[in-house]
A and B are shown apart, each in its own frame.
Chain A
Amino acid sequence: MTNFKQIEENLKKEAKKLLEAGSVAVVLAYTKGADEKHPQPFAAKKADDVANIIFNEYCNHNLARYIVRYAPGTKIAVAVKAADSRAVVVLIQEEKIKRENLILLGIPVSGMKNQKTGEIIDEKTTGGLTNPVVYDVLLGEEIHTGKPVSPYTVLEQYEKMDKDARFAFWKAQFDKCIRCYACRKACPMCYCDPCFIDQTKPRWADKSPQSHGNLMYHLTRFQHLAGRCIDCGECTRACPVDIPLYLFHKKVAKDCEEMFKQAAGMKIEDKLVMVDFRVEDSDKILE
């Protein structure tokens, strides 16, 4: 089990050091929201802000989401958990940020909890990882649970489903959508301006919250995140009506991994699978 207090202390210490030395303009971490159980992403900009930093089992938010908000060239330190570090890797691959402008404060964790339900989310939405894939400073001991978890086991029951049942399942889920766009806003990979759904020329889908517009919005988003989604699960936790978007993203990630033999955001040197090709890619993938 992770020692959250220890990580919080280390995080504060590192953040203080960085801000005092002026080596970064901002440290992205967490602070107290309405209470301890509801932490909030936090941008510490002065050494005095550091006292407000916290870290506990509810600090799920993927802070990589905020990186693109700062002007290019800004030096940023980010606290990254396993999935978050993969998001940072994808952002580097996509040239949204340069590695040299980042200081990654790695956090190895297990036992993170969903703040709405209190359930442990590790095996659901961390891509089966506990340690960040890339970091400059590690704020705790690496965790090796011994048993590698496949992030895709949750998919089994849905893959087994009959097509019609699966369509009915997703239709019911997408019909709940109120188009608040929390999923795309919480997503570290969704930074397009404008998002395709906000475009009017052409208008890809209706803006009204009806079945067809919702379907178009979500399917296109799944396609846009193919080979980029790093399975942090933020879209699902952000959703006010509990649409299990992570399942679909996982499925696409799984298919990409099987077809192109590469998981998203594992190595900075990798090329994203959707902007890459192999002449020897098999036509079988189209069957």
Chain B
Amino acid sequence: MAASVLKKVVIEKINEVAAVLMQKGTLIAPVKEEAGANFREIKDPKDIYLDYYNSILSPKMVFFPQMEDFVKYQLAKPKADAKIVEMNLKPAFLFGVRPCDVKSFEILDKHFYASGIIDTYWKARRDNTTIIGYAFDLDKPVDSADFYNTLGIGAADPEGSDIFIVKKDKELLLKGITKKGEALLGELSMLEKADAKDEKYFTDYVKKGKEKKTRFMKVDDKAVAKKYEDIFENNEYWTKMSDACLSCGVCTFVCPTCYCFDICDETIFGKGTRRRIWDACMFTDFTLETSGHNPRTKVSQRLRQKVCHKYSFSVRKYDVISCVGCGRCTRSCPVNIDIYSMVEEATKL
């Protein structure tokens, strides 16, 4: 690899870095909230919370917000009066994304534009954002719900980030991974130059990250996709899996690779907005048709849709499993349904 840029900064000074990034545009970083960390726009550098394991909601909401306004209109006025809601994007810096979540952006890219049909909203935000990845702290234990190893992701994989950070005692080492990232590092004057020791530390850290063990099973994309096609009508399996499922939307809303949305017109006193909001295949009305017919009335059918979409349909369509093993669904599930165990059980059938 060409001599790429490696810089360092003491952790206390991260506020200064943040202040510069906030001047340049929008800074989005983990913030401590009651239930845990979440990615939010930073108004005060002091809010940045680096001591987090992973966020409750996935960072996909930076590119694909839960609610996005498209058009504002007034009823009984001509169509021409309707106004498209401008995005007014400033350059954005997404700070502190864990390697597994960085991977999720790549997967969603396939859906939102690489498939040929371009979602302009996603793409505009994506192009506009510099991703600053942050390795998991290797000294801390892995959460029991995580299984990103299974999907071939390491705890300190820099791929996909523009800049990648690893923690070294009281310092952060920042490495430019892409041209965009290197350029940004060059503009941050408060960063110090790293020496050869730091270089070695960084390389070793990434290597060590690969050895950090989460839950692991051998999963072959094609084989697991085929498996789920085979057991699609295995009612016994699906009923067993879904006996506990409440069919709420937590797992899909916290998931970094779930992308279903609903476009709705919301009107108050004739003033309306056409917007998209997240929807979830776990909701009863997700598949409800105008006629009143609903092809997925049972919880087992809806859970099957979710799991098969991730582990089977996605492989067929985009050649990738739509799951990064971040463990959010397992952690947030009110009844502790674990997708890893489900897949494990399926492979044994």
List residues of A whose CB falls within 8 A of some B CB.
Answer: 33-35, 38-43, 61, 65-66, 69, 115, 176, 178-182, 184-186, 193-194, 198, 206-210, 234, 237-242
Q: Which residues of B contact A198 (CB under 8 A)?
A: 283-285
A182 to B335, CA, bound (A): 10
Chain A: which residue is nearest B56 at the CB level? A240
A65 to B243, CA, bound (A): 11
Shortest beta-carbon distance from A164 to chain B in Å: 21
Q: Which residues of B contact A41 (CB under 8 A)?
A: 243-244, 335
Chain B: which residue is nearest A235 at the CB level? B334
Residue in contact with B334 in the complex, picked from A42, A179, A194, A237, CB distance below 8 Å: A237
Q: List 5 A-B contacts (CB under 8 A).
A: A40-B336, A41-B244, A42-B244, A186-B246, A194-B285
Q: How many A-B residue pairs have CB under 8 A?
A: 104
Q: Which residues of B contact A239 (CB under 8 A)?
A: 35
A179 to B249, CA, bound (A): 8
Q: Which residues of A contact B57 (CB under 8 A)?
A: 178, 240
B248 touches A238 (CB 8 A): yes
Q: Which residues of B contact A176 (CB under 8 A)?
A: 33-35
Encode B55-69 as 1/0 by CB contact (under 8 A) with A.
011000000001100
A179 to B272, CA, bound (A): 21
B330 touches A181 (CB 8 A): no
8 residue pairs, one from A and one from B, having the closest CB atoms: A33-B336, A238-B334, A185-B248, A242-B35, A182-B248, A180-B249, A185-B246, A38-B336
Residue in contact with A34 in the complex, picked from B35, B145, B299, CB distance below 8 Å: B145
Q: Which residues of A contact B299 (CB under 8 A)?
A: 69
A180 to B34, CA, bound (A): 17
Residue of B67, B250, B284 most packed against chain A (CB within 10 A):
B250
Given contacts A41-B335, A207-B277, A208-B264, contact A65 B67 (CB under 8 A): no
A207 to B34, CA, bound (A): 24
Residue in contact with B249 in the complex, picked from A182, A210, A237, CB distance below 8 Å: A182
Residue in contact with B56 in the complex, picked from A61, A209, A234, A241, CB distance below 8 Å: A241
Q: Which residues of A contact B284 (CB under 8 A)?
A: 193-194, 198
A67 to B285, CA, bound (A): 22
A185 touches B338 (CB 8 A): no
Shortest beta-carbon distance from A170 to chain B in Å: 14
B330 touches A178 (CB 8 A): no
B337 close to A (CB within 8 Å): yes
B332 close to A (CB within 8 Å): yes
B254 touches A240 (CB 8 A): yes
B335 touches A180 (CB 8 A): no
Shortest beta-carbon distance from A179 to chain B in Å: 8
Residue in contact with B243 in the complex, picked from A42, A115, A237, CB distance below 8 Å: A42
Given contacts A42-B243, A181-B248, A185-B246, contact A33 B337 (CB under 8 A): yes
A207 to B335, CA, bound (A): 25
Given contacts A181-B249, A182-B250, A186-B248, contact A206 B266 (CB under 8 A): yes
Q: Which residues of A contact B335 (CB under 8 A)?
A: 33, 40-41, 61, 186
